[in-house]
Structure 1
Amino acid sequence: MRQLVLWTNMYPTRLAPYYGTFVRSTEQAWRKSLGAENVQLVAIRDKPVGALQKIYFYAELMIKCFLSIYRNPKGAILEIHYPVYFLPVLYAAKIFKRRNYLVLRFHGNDLKQIINSKFFMYLYRSIKSQVDLYVVPSDFYREKVSKNLKVPIERVIKVFPDCVGAEFADTSLDKPANDSERFVLGFVSRLERKKNCHELIEAFAKLKIPNAHLVIAGDGSQRKNLEDLAEERGVSSSVTFLGAVPRERLPNIMSQFSVFIFPSVSKTESFGLVAIEALACGAPVIANEQLEAASEYLEVDRNGYYYSGGVEGLCHAIETFYALAGSKKIALATHARTVVQRFDYDRVFTRGVEKILSSLNR
């Protein structure tokens, strides 16, 4: 039986129970496939508080990773999540004897960190010949990794990074009975510049929809600026800032959305699980056309739409959606919920493990 070692700097902790839950689910899928005794996890198991503790935890993690290479048999699979953080260990360990099947699993910003750093690119090139497989979350990122790291597209496979949790698949989370009398735009994300919430507020201020309300869930460095913007545009009474929301509360919040707005312009947006969760709650999605990874789940005119043209384009897209017949909105919401079947645990994690094993066995 094959053995697997999984390295990650993200893993749920007591203080951060939702931090890296997808890594834990991946680990569980591997244990189910290979047997619990054949899977070893090397991870930071606590949430660091302060810079010194973070340095200590990462130093400890690197040492444990280094030791795990030599404590496992030849031919073990080494799967590394967010590989940029582990390149120094791979370089120092001199993994040139093919002792492991090396799988680098990218999630988004980690690719950018490598290609934008001469130091990390040097380390990556030093171990590149030892990489057996690259795993990415979307077809868009598959092409990006192949192009930026100059590897054959055949060595890069797509495995969805996360599934729709059971809490989002609860069909009892129906729209309110007076849905026809209300129009709620929803946004859920960290409030950082590249998440582009300011464009949403600007567009919201231009809407000619008397019963519109905007709900913003999330926190971040831009919250005060966004609150000030809503005040300046005269829509603060129609915009609700919920702040950071516990994950277990999100389904009830998202089920109240008439439509979910996904305006992000982040170039490291490699998947967009939050949009899938909104769809699972019956909220069609209007996404920025720059979000190429959204093609994994957004079906135009079936569960949502794309927009372009900045503020004016988003405003037009929202007003066009609002003007749709009630029957069309119901059809969009109904089809939106089908993502629950497409992104359930087995299809994401069980099949993901099977796909990796199949690729390594070629």
Structure 2
Amino acid sequence: MKILLLSNMYPSNAHVFYGVFVRNFCKNMEEQGAIVDKVVIRGRGKGWLTKLAKYIYYYFRCFVKISSGQYDLIYVHSASHALLPVTLLWPIITKPVVVNIHGSDAVSNGALDSTLFKINRHTLLRCRLVVFPSFAFMEKVLQTVNLPFPFVSPSGGIDRSLFHPTSNTYHIKPPMKIGYISRIDEGKGWDTFIEALSIIKEYNANLDIRAVIVGAGSQVSSMLELINDLGLKDKIQHINQLPQNRLPDIYRSINVFVFPSKRESESLGLVGLEAMSCGIPIIASRIGGITDYLTEGQNGFFAKPGDPDDLAQSIIKFSALGISQLELLSKNAVETAKKYDSKENAVKLYRELEKLCRA
């Protein structure tokens, strides 16, 4: 099976996390025996002129590849920018089209994404398969547009040969260590996390906490300024970004992972599952696809999106747990992550795509 992959998101040396789920998709499909011909935009452009040049070249290559017809199906990651060439060339496309919706491409307050989704809506209604990262996000999108042939596949899943515990025991030695791994951008909740730590420092001074934040983004300077203003420089370590194979060491070095996203478009949240796969319970916003895998008190705790007081209370509640409760949370976290194994989910998706090619 030859797949023509179209995506405006793909990792680069400078942006190792950007579109990492697309790279994982390619790897998973190739391991199943597929040939993946990629037309992608690597990394984020600096400045609007660079971005414009990247998109012009991307659209040109899409037109050439789609027109050639030398593929068995077209797989598009994103229902907005990446799908537009398919919409424009739909009359000449004779092979199945699959669209993988990820988040803000379908649920967005941004004018551009919303406009592109409306332009591509008719294309989505004619697709042979529409893939969603989680059941919760699928239900949210289907409330606004009744897309045919929905299918859930968790954004490449978790490579459990990489993300796994190194010990069968779980314990906390003071100080308690908390981790955050995500982009430092609007809506990701880094500010909620830092403010929660400030609240704990002010009202629970006896609770010794250290935090590590891993991520790059447009708001790093604002984040560092907030850390300084709240007097938390001695409590928080910031690491700009790391390749994916370095992340397991970060997860295993912490006691709990915090995922405080405020985005309604949070369609899954692979970082939460990566932490769980390493045996680390999570505290996360009750929002989007996170609700597919986080169960209150079983493998972690919820917090209200954008509410630092509530997040602080969840962290304090976690810190008060006994060793038997912590070990149970850790064990349940690993069991939850097993359902998102990349190899098992790749087989399921590959079989669905094969059916389309045979039809």
Quick check: 1:245 aligned with 2:239?
no
Give 2:96's match in structure 1, choosing from 81, 95, 101. 101
Asked whether the equivalents of residues 175 and 256 of structure 1 are also in contact (C-alpha less than 8 Å), the reply is: no
The residue aligned with 2:61 is: 64
Relative to 1, partners in 2 of residues 1:114 and 1:9: Cα closer, same or farther, differing over 3 Å? farther
- Between the aligned partners of 2:214 and 2:356, the Cα distance in structure 1 is 39
The residue aligned with 1:20 is: 19
Asked whether the equivalents of residues 173 and 255 of structure 1 are also in contact (C-alpha less than 8 Å), the reply is: no
Asked whether the equivalents of residues 98 and 130 of structure 1 are also in contact (C-alpha less than 8 Å), the reply is: no
Counterpart of 1:188 in structure 2: which amino acid? I
Asked whether the equivalents of residues 96 and 356 of structure 2 are also in contact (C-alpha less than 8 Å), the reply is: no
Kindly state the Cα deviation for residue 51 of structure 1 after the two structures are TM-superposed: 4.8
Give 1:224's match in structure 2, choosing from 216, 221, 225. 221
Number of equivalent positions: 353
The residue aligned with 2:138 is: 142
Q: Which has more radius of gyration?
A: 1
Task: Map residues 242-281 of structure 1 onto 2, 5 A cutoff.
Answer: 242-281=239-278
Consecutive unaligned residues in structure 2, runs of 5 or more: none
Relative to 1, partners in 2 of residues 1:87 and 1:252: Cα closer, same or farther, differing over 3 Å? closer
Q: Tell me the TM-score normalized by structure 1.
A: 0.84
Asked whether the equivalents of residues 297 and 339 of structure 1 are also in contact (C-alpha less than 8 Å), the reply is: yes
- Between the aligned partners of 2:154 and 2:343, the Cα distance in structure 1 is 11
The residue aligned with 2:146 is: 151
Kindly state the Cα deviation for residue 120 of structure 1 after the two structures are TM-superposed: 2.2
Counterpart of 2:214 in structure 1: which amino acid? A
The residue aligned with 1:308 is: 304
- Between the aligned partners of 2:55 and 2:104, the Cα distance in structure 1 is 18
Counterpart of 1:139 in structure 2: which amino acid? F
Cα offsets for 1:246-294 (capped at 9, x unmatched): 33332212212111111110122111111111112222111112x2311
Asked whether the equivalents of residues 198 and 226 of structure 1 are also in contact (C-alpha less than 8 Å), the reply is: yes
- Between the aligned partners of 1:5 and 1:359, the Cα distance in structure 2 is 14
SS of equivalent to 2:119:
helix
Relative to 1, partners in 2 of residues 1:322 and 1:13: Cα closer, same or farther, differing over 3 Å? closer
Relative to 1, partners in 2 of residues 1:255 and 1:66: Cα closer, same or farther, differing over 3 Å? same
- Between the aligned partners of 1:13 and 1:190, the Cα distance in structure 2 is 15
Identical-residue share of aligned pairs (%): 24
Relative to 1, partners in 2 of residues 1:356 and 1:158: Cα closer, same or farther, differing over 3 Å? farther
Give 1:163's match in structure 2, choosing from 151, 157, 165. 157
The residue aligned with 1:296 is: 292
Asked whether the equivalents of residues 173 and 281 of structure 1 are also in contact (C-alpha less than 8 Å), the reply is: no
Cα offsets for 1:284-342 (capped at 9, x unmatched): 111112x2311222122221011238222112111111111111112212222234532
Relative to 1, partners in 2 of residues 1:98 and 1:188: Cα closer, same or farther, differing over 3 Å? closer
Asked whether the equivalents of residues 83 and 110 of structure 1 are also in contact (C-alpha less than 8 Å), the reply is: yes
- Between the aligned partners of 1:59 and 1:215, the Cα distance in structure 2 is 39
- Between the aligned partners of 2:234 and 2:328, the Cα distance in structure 1 is 31
Quick check: 1:89 aligned with 2:85?
yes
Consecutive unaligned residues in structure 1, runs of 5 or more: none
Larger deviation, residues 41-50 vs 106-115 = 41-50
Task: Map residues 191-210 of structure 1 onto 2, 5 A cutoff.
Answer: 191-207=184-200, 208=204, 209-210=206-207
- Between the aligned partners of 1:17 and 1:197, the Cα distance in structure 2 is 19
Larger deviation, residues 257-266 vs 205-214 = 205-214
The residue aligned with 2:280 is: 283
Counterpart of 1:68 in structure 2: which amino acid? K
Counterpart of 1:107 in structure 2: which amino acid? H
Relative to 1, partners in 2 of residues 1:42 and 1:216: Cα closer, same or farther, differing over 3 Å? closer
The residue aligned with 2:8 is: 9
SS of equivalent to 2:283:
strand
- Between the aligned partners of 2:293 and 2:143, the Cα distance in structure 1 is 23
- Between the aligned partners of 2:274 and 2:151, the Cα distance in structure 1 is 24
- Between the aligned partners of 1:72 and 1:205, the Cα distance in structure 2 is 57
Q: Tell me the TM-score normalized by structure 2.
A: 0.85
- Between the aligned partners of 2:256 and 2:43, the Cα distance in structure 1 is 37
Asked whether the equivalents of residues 217 and 241 of structure 1 are also in contact (C-alpha less than 8 Å), the reply is: yes
The residue aligned with 1:187 is: 180
Counterpart of 1:22 in structure 2: which amino acid? F
Relative to 1, partners in 2 of residues 1:45 and 1:349: Cα closer, same or farther, differing over 3 Å? same
Cα offsets for 1:172-219 (capped at 9, x unmatched): 268898x33331121111222311222222221222143222222223
Kindly state the Cα deviation for residue 81 of structure 1 after the two structures are TM-superposed: 0.9
Relative to 1, partners in 2 of residues 1:340 and 1:287: Cα closer, same or farther, differing over 3 Å? closer
Counterpart of 2:165 in structure 1: which amino acid? T
- Between the aligned partners of 1:236 and 1:142, the Cα distance in structure 2 is 40
Kindly state the Cα deviation for residue 128 of structure 1 after the two structures are TM-superposed: 4.4
Counterpart of 2:260 in structure 1: which amino acid? P
Kindly state the Cα deviation for residue 35 of structure 1 after the two structures are TM-superposed: 4.5
SS of equivalent to 2:346:
helix
Counterpart of 2:98 in structure 1: which amino acid? V
